[in-house]
Structure 1
Amino acid sequence: MSVHIATDPGDDATVGTHPVTGAADQTTADPTTAAPATAPPAEPAPGPRQGRGAALVGSTLLAVGVALAAANLRPAVTSLASVLGDVRASLGATTAWTSLLTAVPTVCFGVAAFAAPWLGRRFGMARAVGASLVVLTLGLVLRVLDGPAVLLGGTFTACAGIAVCNVLIPVVVKESFPDKVGFLTGVYTAALAAGAAVGAALTPTLETVLGSWQLAAATWALLSTAALLVWSASARHGAAPAVAPAHGARPAAPARRTSVLRSPLAWVITVFFGLQSLLAYTVMGWLPQIMADSGVDRTTAGMLLAITMVLGVPVSLVVPPLATRWGSQSWLVVLLGSLSIAGILGLAIAPVAAPGLWVVLIGTGMCVFPLALVIISLRTATAADTANLSAMAQSIGYLISAAGPFAFGVLRDVTGAWTVSMYVLAGVLVALIALGVIAGRPRTL
């Protein structure tokens, strides 16, 4: 959404797009050159202008760029998770270090997400997302070049690029495809789930073919490079029409001035987002190791994680459009949260009795993520509010979720088994459902 105020043709001032920045110049007539009493002829309104503040053009190619960028937002995590045992053995790492590695993505997502709205405003969505894909690619390559410290640093770097995309791409969807928010959110989250699944499923095979987990993990930089090329070709800022309001027309509503940090609903959504992220990254970080400790071989464990992720593809295509058609999304939260609890408890009580069923339940329940993104859009009235709430939910929410993977692994180390860790995770999901019921009620900030 864009607001432009007509100015003198020689004046380059504009009022940019979301969030609204700048102000129109006010011109005072020179008394020595005052016009006669009769009204002068109206000056032609300036034509449409291009600028970094304008929304990206919602083309088919941009939709492909959004999907391909989304496909790169999880392989950095799931690729390492699927070969975590080999990574730990080759580096001689401790359990505490391994727990820290699983927590790094969410910590980084939380910290870097604070800067995402500023980057979008300062450089424009096209450049901000493009630069983030560059950072992601460099991090994927750098992290396999040396030992444990470099691996942690490279993973943090890669996840910094992911964090910015996490915040800005949903804003691109709302701004550039306002009539297809549900559908494009579904495509975005389905691509994200597909990337996570492919990263988990193929990395063990790539390790076998290429001879090392380092080469297997670095291979995913090729996918991010492809996304960068498509994004560079598709992301174009559109025209921001500078049209003077008609005489007597009602002025546009002022931009929201109250910080979302003061909204109780925004905090409910933020903690809700944080708890669903805690579930997702705990599962992505530890599920293969849980399976391996239960006697499942490495390749099968990676495939089980891939199944968990790939279930998000069809479900993500259904949940967002369905959620936008209903006034309340609370019932969807209850349904998906209950499936996750059933899968976690099954994994805790009888992990090898029906592992396929447990991962199906967990994977389906984890589709509360696209629902959380839709709720962020539905609970906000403007793209500016969407960006601010998205940044708040993802920055603070990911910092909340960072405790999950780390505590999950440490608790296992203390108790000697995964059972207590999974019971605690099930309790967290009860809180997620309660908050989601509140967040899903139809209203806006």
Structure 2
Amino acid sequence: MRVEHREPELDAAVEVRAPGVVAAGALLAVAVVLTALNLRPAITGVGPMLAEMRQDLGVSVVWAGVLTTLPTLCFAGAGLAAPLLARRAGIGAAIALALAALAAGLLLRVLDGPAVVLGGTLVATAGIALINVLIPVVIKDSFPARIGVLTGVYTAALQGGGALGSAVTPRLGDTLGGWRPALGSWAVLAVVALLAWIFAARGTGRAPRPADGAGSGRSLLRNRLAWIVTAYFGLQAFYAYAAMGWFPQVLMDAGVPRDDAGLLFGLVSLIAVPISLVVAPMAARRRGQSPWIVGLSVFGVAGTIGLMLAPSWSPLLWSILVGLGMSTFSLALTVIALRARTGADTARLSGMAQGFGYLFAALGPFLFGLLHDLAHGWAVPLAMLLGLLGVQIVFGALAGRHRFV
């Protein structure tokens, strides 16, 4: 029962914060971190193993393009559905179901042929998509005074998981005997996160509910700022998922051994960890985040130019610069939380930005691979990314201004 005469924002905080009340916040934070660790290995682990998968399954580059595009398509569809699911089932239950789907999909996709791989990837990434949208809402309303810090910790864990997926999966393949056990073994981490989340939500006596109106109420589809945030999120995601799907292959074609390419792309994700822990909280304390967004994006421009013009000259340097540029993801999530006043608006903005943003980003891996085939090289697809980075800088600067949807 809701107590009357409260401020609406306090009511929202009580509603969304339910998963962490019994743990005084600390256990919820641990569950959030463990969950975040699962949101990239299912994707970044595929890149270093893609050539081996294609050879074993006898599939074309078009199939590989579909495989690398599926995650962002799932992120778009499930991202738009997440606020409604959370409103009906509760945020705690929705995230637990998403983690269960992730674990099941990771196991399913290594059991059979090309169609099963695609189907399992669809299930796993649908689970990831739901979590992508709901965790920022939990952070907004469960830790309202520490949005920058918790967003930084969350994105650091997320990027750290991406680094592990890229760097560790090839070695798991060597140890366990192929790409199937290597990719399937990540289901263990998903089960651990699921148990942690269930334990964090125990004792509430009811399914945790999102903020009032998370799945209903005013629409943001006519809100100019909401579309600016969505465009910025979609542009940085387009770059990131094209990179996660193809950059290991770009490095390997430049003469970098497979395991080293996995390590270098793991470094790309790992660089985002300290950036998320340091820059995101600093940016969140400022009235505007535009200078931070533009500054990090410029590093991505430099790294992309290096890969396009002289990929074999210094793969390590290009990887570091690309990693710094991709670190804008933590700022994209921070902007989503800061541009909304309430948890309900955060849920709507998060669903809109990630739903439509990932729908656009789904073109990234596919177009990158298609342009490679048409141009018989990597210079043209990298030039495409370079042009989009310029547009990203413009929308990022606009999204970072101190305004509210």
TM-score above 0.5: yes
Residue correspondence of structure 1 range 144-223 to structure 2 within 5 A:
144-223=110-189
Aligned AA for 2:323? G
The 1-side partners of 2:204 and 2:213 are apart by 23
Residue correspondence of structure 1 range 20-419 to structure 2 within 5 A:
54=18, 56-57=20-21, 58-236=24-202, 257-419=217-379
- The alpha-carbon deviation at position 196 of structure 1 amounts to 0.4
1:219-245 Cα offsets, whole Å, 9 max, x none, are 0000001111111111258699xxxxx
The 2-side partners of 1:390 and 1:397 are apart by 10
- The alpha-carbon deviation at position 56 of structure 1 amounts to 3.8
Residues 213 and 344 in structure 2, CA contact (< 8 A), matched pair in contact too: no
Aligned to 1:437: 397
Residues 266 and 389 in structure 1, CA contact (< 8 A), matched pair in contact too: yes
- Sort the Cα spacing of 1:92 and 1:285 in 2 relative to 1 into closer, same or farther, 3 A: same
Aligned to 1:45: none
- Sort the Cα spacing of 1:141 and 1:55 in 2 relative to 1 into closer, same or farther, 3 A: closer
- SS of the equivalent of 1:260 reads coil
Residues 234 and 361 in structure 2, CA contact (< 8 A), matched pair in contact too: yes
Q: Which has the larger radius of gyration?
A: 1
- Sort the Cα spacing of 1:64 and 1:429 in 2 relative to 1 into closer, same or farther, 3 A: same
Aligned AA for 2:385? L
1:352-392 Cα offsets, whole Å, 9 max, x none, are 10110000001011111010111111111100000000000
- SS of the equivalent of 2:403 reads coil
Return 5+ residue gaps in structure 2 as ranges.
207-211
Residues 56 and 236 in structure 1, CA contact (< 8 A), matched pair in contact too: no
- The alpha-carbon deviation at position 258 of structure 1 amounts to 3.1
The 2-side partners of 1:55 and 1:407 are apart by 40
Aligned to 1:428: 388
- Sort the Cα spacing of 1:345 and 1:53 in 2 relative to 1 into closer, same or farther, 3 A: closer
- The alpha-carbon deviation at position 145 of structure 1 amounts to 0.7
Aligned to 1:13: none
- The alpha-carbon deviation at position 305 of structure 1 amounts to 0.7
Aligned to 1:5: 4
Aligned to 1:245: none
The 1-side partners of 2:213 and 2:394 are apart by 34
The 2-side partners of 1:236 and 1:215 are apart by 33
Aligned to 1:244: none
The 2-side partners of 1:67 and 1:279 are apart by 24
The 2-side partners of 1:308 and 1:378 are apart by 26
Give the stretch that moved more between structures: 77-86 or 53-62: 53-62
Q: So what's the TM-score if we normalise by structure 2?
A: 0.93
- The alpha-carbon deviation at position 100 of structure 1 amounts to 1.1
The 2-side partners of 1:371 and 1:108 are apart by 22
- The alpha-carbon deviation at position 309 of structure 1 amounts to 0.6
Aligned AA for 2:166? A
Residues 173 and 184 in structure 1, CA contact (< 8 A), matched pair in contact too: yes
Aligned AA for 1:336? L
Aligned AA for 1:361? L
- The alpha-carbon deviation at position 296 of structure 1 amounts to 1.2
- Sort the Cα spacing of 1:120 and 1:56 in 2 relative to 1 into closer, same or farther, 3 A: farther
Return 5+ residue gaps in structure 1 as ranges.
7-15, 20-49, 241-252
- Sort the Cα spacing of 1:190 and 1:270 in 2 relative to 1 into closer, same or farther, 3 A: same
1:127-165 Cα offsets, whole Å, 9 max, x none, are 110111000000000001111111111001000000010
1:328-362 Cα offsets, whole Å, 9 max, x none, are 11111110111101000100000010110000001
- SS of the equivalent of 2:221 reads helix
- Sort the Cα spacing of 1:321 and 1:303 in 2 relative to 1 into closer, same or farther, 3 A: same
1:293-348 Cα offsets, whole Å, 9 max, x none, are 11111101111110001111111101211111111111111101111010001000
Aligned AA for 1:329? Q
Residues 56 and 172 in structure 1, CA contact (< 8 A), matched pair in contact too: no
Aligned AA for 2:241? Y
The 2-side partners of 1:426 and 1:355 are apart by 17
- Sort the Cα spacing of 1:315 and 1:435 in 2 relative to 1 into closer, same or farther, 3 A: same
- SS of the equivalent of 1:73 reads coil
- The alpha-carbon deviation at position 442 of structure 1 amounts to 0.5
- SS of the equivalent of 2:218 reads coil
- The alpha-carbon deviation at position 116 of structure 1 amounts to 0.7
Aligned AA for 2:332? A
1:94-125 Cα offsets, whole Å, 9 max, x none, are 11111111111000100111111111111111
The 2-side partners of 1:237 and 1:374 are apart by 30
- Sort the Cα spacing of 1:180 and 1:291 in 2 relative to 1 into closer, same or farther, 3 A: same
Question: Which structure has more helix as a fraction of its residues?
Answer: 2
- The alpha-carbon deviation at position 169 of structure 1 amounts to 0.7
Q: So what's the TM-score if we normalise by structure 1?
A: 0.85
- SS of the equivalent of 2:313 reads coil
Question: Which structure has more RCO (C-alpha within 8 Å, separation ≥ 6)?
Answer: 2
